[in-house]
Amino acid sequence: MMREKKLAPVKYFIGIDVSKATFNYCVKSGSGKVVNGKAANNSESIREFFSGLKQIPGFKTGFAVFGMETTGIYGNILIGTLSKLKAKIVVEPALRIKNSLGLIKGKNDKLDAARIARYLVKNLSELRLWVPRRKIIDQLSSLSTLRERMVKVRTIIQTPLDEDNGFIDQAVSEENLRLCSPSVSKVVQLIKEVDERIKQIWSSDEQTCRMMKIMLSVVGIGEVTALEMLIQTNEFKSISTARTFASYCGIAPFEHDSGTSVKKPARVSKMANNRVKSLLHNGVRTCLANDHEIKAYYKRRVVVDKKKKSSAINAIKFKLICRVFACIRGNRLYDRHYVPKKAIREISTEK
């Protein structure tokens, strides 16, 4: 398992606000000097920008950190080029940067770059370097996104057609179905082809194949869920613990207490990866139908402990996550009767 890389001493903080065609940057140094600028979002301009930084007296790549917001594909060229230049990169969600800086007034690209640089300075001790993904994970991520779009298209077309039945004129309903059936059938076929291509790709690589087989051995984890976990954790490098992943996908509850007057029930955060959360919900349904241990646990939580159903379902989601991470960490398939080696040694010692 790859650990998170921590930052060495940093003297230069470069905040970058990326857009489709250009990016603004703000360079802050330990001396308090600030340099602002703007460049085109292409490899040649990025290299020129990097060469310009080296003209700053005392600037060294090893003492600089480049920070930016998560911007999807728009940041790929910048991140890829900086990575080749051996730069230290931090990529954070925009909301995390915004919330860490307190009250913010006004907004433009130049200000945003300066705020990202300020975020780097303020949170230096907590920053974690961006961990690059292998090409195969980028490929799987693109196909997974494509599949999700196709599923949405199918739903957009099919759901209204199903709901029309019995509520509008039968002849009109049948005509709508006749017109749309070829499109729906084609989308369904494309989804199947994408699924086959995805399986072909992860099966062709030893590392992804091993991880996928381990995850699929856990009851409730299907191919789509396993693939999404593989992508979102970057093969369990960027997110390496079950608790961190539970928080990432909005399963971990957070307290809301203050003094003696504010006592609200612990709740999950809305700031989460809802796709993974939804996929895990489908996994819970599978477990309740096929896993007797999970079914008994759910019944005890709801019937005996009088917990809310949503709370019990979240707890089962966390169980699934813990099972996946434990199996990945131990490099083994899931076995409900598995006993850790440490426990076996302790039992032997007691005897």
What pLDDT is recorded for position 125? Answer: 86
The reported pTM is 0.84
Q: Between 223 and 267, where is the model more confident? A: 223
Alpha-carbon distances, residue 66 vs 22, 93, 191, 323 (angstroms)? 16, 14, 38, 36
Quote the tokens at residue 21: 């065609």
Q: Between 165 and 36, where is the model more confident? A: 36
3-class DSSP state of 131: coil
- pLDDT tops 50 at residue 155: yes
What pLDDT is recorded for position 287? Answer: 93
The residue out of 66, 96, 126 marking a domain boundary is 126
How many distinct structural domains can be found in the chain? 3
What pLDDT is recorded for position 315? Answer: 93
What pLDDT is recorded for position 22? Answer: 95
What pLDDT is recorded for position 314? Answer: 92
Average pLDDT of the chain, as a whole number: 88
Give the separation between CA 209 and CA 57, rounded to whole angstroms.
Answer: 49
Are 140 and 99 in a shared domain?
no
- Is 6 domain-assigned? no
Taking only the tens place, the pLDDT of each residue in 157-204 is: 999 998 888 788 889 988 999 999 999 999 999 999 999 999 999 999
Strand partners, 39: 23
The residue out of 126, 145, 168 marking a domain boundary is 126
CATH code at position 96? 3.30.420.10
- Is 117 domain-assigned? yes
Taking only the tens place, the pLDDT of each residue in 87-122 is: 999 999 888 888 887 767 778 889 999 999 999 999
- The mean pLDDT value for 245-269 works out to 75
Give the separation between CA 96 and CA 82, rounded to whole angstroms.
Answer: 22
Strand partners, 26: 15, 36
The residue out of 174, 204, 234 marking a domain boundary is 204
- pLDDT tops 80 at residue 260: no
Are 199 and 216 in a shared domain?
no
- The mean pLDDT value for 212-218 works out to 97
- pLDDT tops 90 at residue 336: no
Are 199 and 210 in a shared domain?
no
Q: Which domain holds residue 89?
A: 12-126
- pLDDT tops 50 at residue 2: no
- The mean pLDDT value for 248-264 works out to 74
